[in-house]
Amino acid sequence: MKLDSNNHSVFLLYYHLVLVTKYRRAVLDDEISDYLRSHFERIGLNYNITVVEWKHDKDHIHVMFKAYPNTEITKFINSYKSVSSRLVKKDYPQVKKQLWKEMFWSKSSCLLTTGGAPIEVIKKYIQSQGQKIIRKVGVRYGNLKSVQISYLSE
């Protein structure tokens, strides 16, 4: 595992971000997702943010990214949502028709640190988004329940 560093410290900070479209409208496809990712990466440069994993479904995106300890993550997310909302509606008029108001993204978001699970597990979870669940098996260990989920590719 390679640690990131700056002048005074070493660190490894991974985050998992979920952004949902306004009204959960199914407006995301591969082309729009790639467009949104390119803007995420471009704006992220100003905040020392690097995309590790990106996946979309029809109404939301999952992003795993790395950041520096002094990164103002809330500022970055607000900036990204504002800029990407404006640009995606400008460059994809069909989106504007489905989202008749000004906002592209829902006001809410989900941001998680990923220290509680191995990075590879979270990567696989993000990669599996948009696939159909075909089996859930639960096994009880004391007070904890382990769930194994299998996915079927579309």
Residue 102 confidence (pLDDT): 77
Instruction: Look at the chain and count its residues.
Output: 154
Residue 24 confidence (pLDDT): 94
Q: Is the dihedral of CA 89, 90, 94, 98 positive or negative?
A: positive
Q: Which residue has the higher pLDDT, 119 or 91?
A: 91
State pTM to two decimals.
Answer: 0.76
Q: Terminal CA-to-CA distance of the chain, rounded, Å?
A: 33
Enter the tokens of residue 14: 């991974």
Q: What is the pLDDT of residues 7-50, one digit of tens each?
A: 889 998 999 999 999 999 999 999 999 999 999 999 999 999 99
